[in-house]
Chains A and B, each alone.
Chain A
Amino acid sequence: MLHPIDWIVMLVYLGFVVAIGFMLKRHIETSSDFFLSGRALPAWVCGLAFISANLGAQEVIGMAASGAKYGIATSHFYWIGAIPAMVFVGVFMMPFYYGSRARSVPEYLRLRFDEKTRALNAVSFAVMTIFSSGISMYAMARLIQTLHLFDAPLAKLGVSTAGVFHVSIIVSALVVLVYVFFGGLSGAIYNEVLQFFLIVAGFLPLVWLGLKTVGGWDGLKTRVPAEMTHAWMGMQHANTNPLGVEWFGLAMGLGFVLSFGYWCTDFLVVQRAMAAHNMSAARRTPLIAALPKMFFPLLVILPGIIAIGLPNMVSQPTAIYPPGTTAAQISSGAICPTTVTPGVAGVGIIPPKMNAIGEAIRDSNGKVVLDYDLAIPNMLIKFFPSGLLGLGLTALLASFMSGMAGNVTAFNTVWTYDIYQAHIRPGASDAHYLRMGRIATVAGIALSILAAYMATRFNNIMDMLQLIFAFVNAPLFATFLLGMFWKRATGHGAFVGLISGMCAAAIHHGLTLPVGAVAGIKGGWLGAQLHQYPSEMAQNFWTAIYAWSTCFVVTIIVSLMTKPREEKELAGLVYSLTPRQTEEHVAWYLRPAALGAGVLVLAAILNIIFR
């Protein structure tokens, strides 16, 4: 249970978060201040915000859960799935994003291609940010409810256990609303930097205590299956490694298409680099971000593996009641249990997943299904006494809220500039758009709350969002690649290519199914099943590969059939028509190319150490 000291730590954090919003208020005078921090932030701030914006609590909890399920191979999501893309966007793509003075990613598409390509991207992106934000809110409220840590103090205020969920949603929405409404993008970025340091502060002691308990990395290797501590073991074939995907699918699907599709085109992260104070800082932002990103597996994935390596916990014996029994009947003793099952063992400190009447859920082979998402919460509760526990929970809280805030700032910018200013009310004063941005913030949060409640009704909503991300981001990367590096790409080509890519993703998903899954949200919904994949991840990666390839090919074909724009209009937007950045005033080791190379070498070394 939570001790007052834990509450105090959390309230200190919330106090600072809101105070930062108010302190920034008087610096917001123009729409550029509100949406782009006046393009005035130092590279290190942008760099830390760049990774924190991406590091929502679903990632913190999800990566630990993956670590518990798949082991250190999860780090592929970082070392292959993020680092190369981050280096690429910093070295090669930022000159176009920053140099074009585009105020958003869709606006770059308008400058490079045409209005309809911008609209397609703006609308799909706006919808995705609302859902992402809502799901962040939902996941946080669910976790708070499941841990029962806030039940007692809230009960004193008259809140029932069911009400804890609603209180969490409302309070988190209000806090984010205050600091984004008053502080704009700067409010969000400053809080993201705060979140970064809190995550390190909260999780470093956890990893240290956990490793000490299991006897260090070598000790951990003896306590868990071998493939969990070797990232590259069995990667030649899909069925010899825990991820269920072979190295080609991993490299192309994750390493290339999905990862570049996200880090290079998602405005949520690119916006943080656009807020930098000059081109050099903007290019260094993703590279600065790549350094801590590389070491994050040690902070968030290791606790999951350690959780598996600790001695098995056995759950309490459970009494199973007939379906429909109410809590009142149980406590009054009116109904007797039909059976009392002995406690079920999980693995390490990961408990089995329980259904609504208290039974452990089992898969088709009779094996217990584990509740991997509880890896981090259980680790925190196990190792952290009161005081430090408050800090750990605050770090989780900070991650959830910055996940929400990042999506809200991306939404209000894309809405105001790419949808409202472009199509609904062009030519108004800057003060008008600043007002619109604030209104969009309120509306964005209200819609997110709606999305959070939708998630309670449709429990597949997270899977759906993952799917839509793959459908939209994968082809988008092909569009950007051709747009930035091939001057012959045209607007018609880009638009048709994007749509074809999204359709190809949908068709591929509808005609394939992972092993063991039922046709529906997991695939195979087009009736026929042309292929079976060894895992969901493999299906996901190959959907991305097909989507990207289709968009790439179709864009080229349609571009060659349509008229391109004048070359002078494309100066600064395409590689071959833009003077190269020389950065002569910067020391050689601080130049983007050198920093990028250094980052890649470090990542390669980490891969070798943990192979």
Chain B
Amino acid sequence: MGLDIRWPIGYMFLIMGIILAAYGLFSDATIYAQSLGMNVNLIWGAILGAFGIVMLLLARSGKKSQQKI
């Protein structure tokens, strides 16, 4: 409906992913004792960021196929 929803979803997860991963890099390692020792912020932040990029790529290919028409 005018706005392809994959754009906002893609940007939001990309931004959230970057924020979480960056925090994961700079945060104190002791907070990860409760998450079984794993730096979940870095790991999950990276995965969410990748998901955001996939969404943006899908949105871009959607726009291209629309322009072909």
Contact = CB atoms under 8 A, between A and B. Distances in A.
A382 B8 CA distance: 31
A555 interface: no
A12 B12 CA distance: 7
A186 interface: yes
Interface string A25-53: 01100000100011011000100000000
B1 A24 contact: yes
A41 B1 contact: yes
B15 to A, nearest CB: 6
Interface stretch (A190-198, A237-245, A469-477, A524-532): A190-198
Contacts of A388: 20, 35, 40-41, 44
A41 B35 CA distance: 40
- B1, B9, B11, B35: residue with the most chain A Cβ atoms closer than 10 Å: B1
A5 B23 contact: yes
Contacts of B35: 209, 383-385, 388
Contacts of B5: 45, 190, 193
Contacts of B11: 16
A252 interface: no
Interface in B30-54: 31-32, 34-36, 40-41, 44-45, 48, 51
Contacts of A194: 8-9, 12
B52 to A, nearest CB: 10
B8 A19 contact: yes
Contact of A16 (B3, B8, B45): B8
Contact of A201 (B13, B19, B27): B13
B19 A12 contact: yes
A12 B17 CA distance: 11
B32 A385 contact: yes
Interface in A376-413: 382-388, 391
**How extensive is the interface on chain B, given as a class?**
20 to 34
A35 to B, nearest CB: 13
Contact of B40 (A5, A197, A384): A384
- B5, B8, B9, B12: residue with the most chain A Cβ atoms closer than 10 Å: B5
Contacts of A38: 1
A79 B31 CA distance: 38
A24 B19 contact: no
B25 to A, nearest CB: 11
- Per DSSP, chain A at the interface is helix
Given A20-B8, A27-B2, A385-B35, A12 B15 contact: yes
A201 B1 contact: no
B12 A13 contact: yes
B59 interface: no
A212 interface: yes
Contact of B48 (A33, A201, A212): A201
Nearest to B52: A197
Contact of B1 (A5, A12, A40, A382): A40
A213 interface: yes
Nearest to B3: A23
Interface in A194-233: 194, 197, 201, 205, 209, 212-213
Contacts of B32: 385
A382 B31 CA distance: 11
Contacts of B16: 9, 12-13, 391
Nearest to B40: A388
A12 B27 CA distance: 20
Contacts of A12: 12, 15-16, 19
A553 to B, nearest CB: 44
Contacts of A386: 23, 27, 31
A8 interface: yes
Contact of A8 (B3, B12, B19): B19
A24 B1 CA distance: 8
Contacts of B12: 12-13, 16, 194
A205 B8 contact: no
A404 to B, nearest CB: 20
A193 B8 CA distance: 11
Contacts of B40: 205, 209, 384-385, 387-388
B17 to A, nearest CB: 9
A501 B2 CA distance: 44
Nearest to B24: A387
A213 B13 contact: no
Interface of B: 1-3, 5, 8-9, 11-13, 15-16, 19-20, 23-24, 27, 31-32, 34-36, 40-41, 44-45, 48, 51
Given A16-B11, A385-B40, 8 more contacts: A9-B20, A27-B1, A33-B1, A194-B8, A194-B9, A201-B48, A384-B40, A387-B24
Interface of A: 5, 8-9, 12-13, 16, 19-20, 23-24, 26-27, 33, 37-38, 40-41, 45, 186, 190, 193-194, 197, 201, 205, 209, 212-213, 382-388, 391
22 contacts: A5-B19, A5-B20, A9-B20, A12-B15, A16-B8, A23-B3, A24-B1, A26-B2, A38-B1, A41-B1, A186-B3, A190-B8, A193-B9, A197-B9, A201-B44, A209-B40, A212-B36, A213-B36, A382-B34, A385-B31, A387-B23, A387-B24
